[in-house]
Structure 1
Amino acid sequence: MMQNINNVTEFVFLGLTQNDELQKICFVIFLFFYLVIVLGNLLIVATVIFSSRLNSPMYFFLSYLSFVDICYSSVTAPKMIVDFLAEKKTISFIGCIAQLFGVHFFGCTEIFILTVMAYDRYIAICKPLHYTTIMTKRICGQMVAASWFGGFMHSLVQILMTIRLPFCGPNEIDHYFCDVHPLLQLACTDTYIVGIIVVANSGMIALSCFLILVVSYIVILVFLRSRSSEGRRKALSTCASHITVVILFFGPCTFTYIRPSSNFSEDKTVALFYTVVTPMLNPLIYTLRNEEMKNAMRKLWSRKIFFSSEKTKM
């Protein structure tokens, strides 16, 4: 039985780089990235909320995906950006555990929402006549609630496993945020069993959801073979954005969590894809390839300009 002996009150991040000049450049780049993430995803959320035309389940799920992206990046990005200018990149033990919880809570919730979005596309394309009866507002709400609950339970398991580990030192984490694998490397006990549980928990969730997504899109592609070229083109255009996001998010995520804990320093570079790059690209991917979204944004923008000009005249 593991004793909860903890001589470590704080952890020190080694960050992405130790080069001072490179850190200043990274500060500017990642600050810009984070602003794009927040503003871009907020724009999608606002557009879906205020546009009466974007009332389908697809946009309902997209608004929640954008909200989760903001929360997910906000758990790691602000701390990473501040640390680029900090002489010593420290985080308290409690802060580290809180960050670990947030990363897995929002990350797992995003995995489930992306899976739900694939199911929505499957029903819309393969069973169009039953779409409105299957994907009701109540069912969509329950799916989103189940995604949040699943993310919470997954994160709770990660916390309960990690917080019981004894940390006697050293306290340097070769990463830019607190994650399970780097913390297992610092624990002063045998973490083999915990590592297996982490792979079974995090890795299998990512891999199984990814396989479900792959199968669903294979079924969709097979089904589209019998459709007209115009119908096929329209259906593929709605799926292409989602497939792109799935590949960008699930690829690095599955690579990180499907294998046992190891001293793989490139993990932090891989982690940038699912904590920063994908949340930043999501607004661009879903808007540039979606005429409905672009038209709704134009109308929302023109409406705001109209109201602001009316107020100035009064």
Structure 2
Amino acid sequence: MKSLQDTRLSLLDLVAVREGGTVAQALEIALRTAQKAEALGFTRYWLAEHHNMPGIASSATAVLIGHIAGGTSRIRVGSGGVMLPNHAPLVVAEAFGTLAELYPGRIDLGLGRAPGTDGPTMRALRRDRVETEQDFPRDVAELQQLLGPVTPGQRIIAMPGAGTNVPIWLLGSSLFSAQLAAHMGLPYAFASHFAPRMLHQALDMYRELFRPSATLAKPYAIVGVPVIAAPTDEEAEFLASSTYQRVLGILTGQRSRLQPPVENYAAQLSPSECAAIGDFLRAGVVGSPDSVRRHFQTLLDSTQADEFMLVSDIYDPALRLRSLEIAAQAIAS
């Protein structure tokens, strides 16, 4: 059994644009948050690719990774993830190869196969490309080749990129990427921060089918965990109302900027709305330091995760940093 003290902590940032704030402020908050995560000993800081969403400023993911890596010194910085169907593998290899040359040993390439957006925007990103189920495994293998050593007779070379061996992670919220990560011997991150339903089934499949590779000798799994931590359960519940509003907007197709917290927000919702939000955040924890630690222990016992990837959407940036501090202390104690 794994020990909570040995479990790594990392952070996934959607770079939320707050109501009343600007994109420039969101980017500045992201850098300060990464610096705080580094000071707290977090292993990695990942950014997610989303498009055409008014409250998220991380669409140019590789550009932002470079900005964050340049403002930190030790923490790994990467994508959680790049939505590979939106990009040609060569373009991704060159971008992340460049980052790897600028920040050696600190760049991660997490890959997803969802569009990260709505249908019309997906078509604008991909133009006339029609994706098939076999494209993603083929593109992942192509990326591995482009980031690996140049082989005799190789006609297309990523420059920069070749020989950097940027670590590739597969991300997913279903069983497809779990099977592919196992088959390819790659580390795997499950998106339980928004789609927890198949968490345990995906992890079981990944570990059961895992084949050791030159990249990884044994399975390594990250579990996404929404966290809203505060000194008391009551304050945490109040702060979490910003996340509840964001989730309800996702579920109803009415996305907006990150909203300020609202007193007794849950009491204003219908039972079906509360149930839908609860299902979305089933893997999350909202509460005091003791509540956070208990939840972390329960989640570790049930998943045996190697790493928790936290998501903490709190309107006040200072209170978000405090939430990360509480989470780090809960793991260490």
Determine which structure has more spread, i.e. the larger CA radius of gyration.
1
Query: In which range does the TM-score fall when normalised by the shorter chain?
Result: under 0.3
Q: Give the TM-score normalised by the residue count of structure 1.
A: 0.27
Q: Give the TM-score normalised by the residue count of structure 2.
A: 0.26
